[in-house]
Amino acid sequence: MRKATTLGELKQTEWAAPSRAQRSVKDELRENLICLLENGSPIFAGIVGYEDTVLPQLVNAILSRHNFILLGLRGQAKSRVLRQLVTLLDEEIPILAGSEVNQRCISEIHGPVLVLGHEAMERWQIRIVHWVYCDASRA
């Protein structure tokens, strides 16, 4: 499957759906966690000893879209848990090319689009979409 490279092409994909375009990071974590739970895939691989205590509470916090703080002494897998949360994010996301903050393409306000307008960018098929990959290999 070819990836969209223009705003017009991107609007023809699943990324333009309102449920996906307006999705927060908490919603993204939640949806991807639900997929892992349905598939029976391991969620926090390599974390031993917390399967009945901490990990179920983290899963509940993510499913509930809650904020959470990890407190504990050294060696209690706090950093490992945080590094593994990255695996719950989408593998890649479309952003506006040249955006300093990796701005979403489908959001309502962006720099280049404010100058030209959405319709002009779609009509001229200006290549403004770049794909950012999540590098979870360091987790």
- Between the alpha carbon of residue 127 and those of residues 11, 21, 87, 107, the distances in Å are 13, 19, 29, 17
Which residue has better confidence, 114 or 123?
Answer: 123
Identify which of 9-18, 102-111, 125-134 has the greatest average pLDDT: 9-18
The model's pLDDT over 88-114, given as tens digits with 9 standing for 90+, comes to: 998 888 877 766 666 666 555 445 554
pLDDT at 79 over 70: yes
Which residue has better confidence, 16 or 36?
Answer: 36
| Burial environment of residue 61 by CB neighbours within 10 A (0 to 12, 13 to 18, 19 or more) | middle
Share of the chain above pLDDT 90, in %: 37
Q: How many separate helices (H) and strands (E) can be counted in the chain?
A: 7, 2
Q: Closest Cα partner for 130 from 108, 99, 107?
A: 99
Which residue has better confidence, 20 or 98?
Answer: 20
**Which pLDDT score, from 0 to 100, does residue 64 have?**
97
Task: Give pTM, 2 decimals.
Answer: 0.74
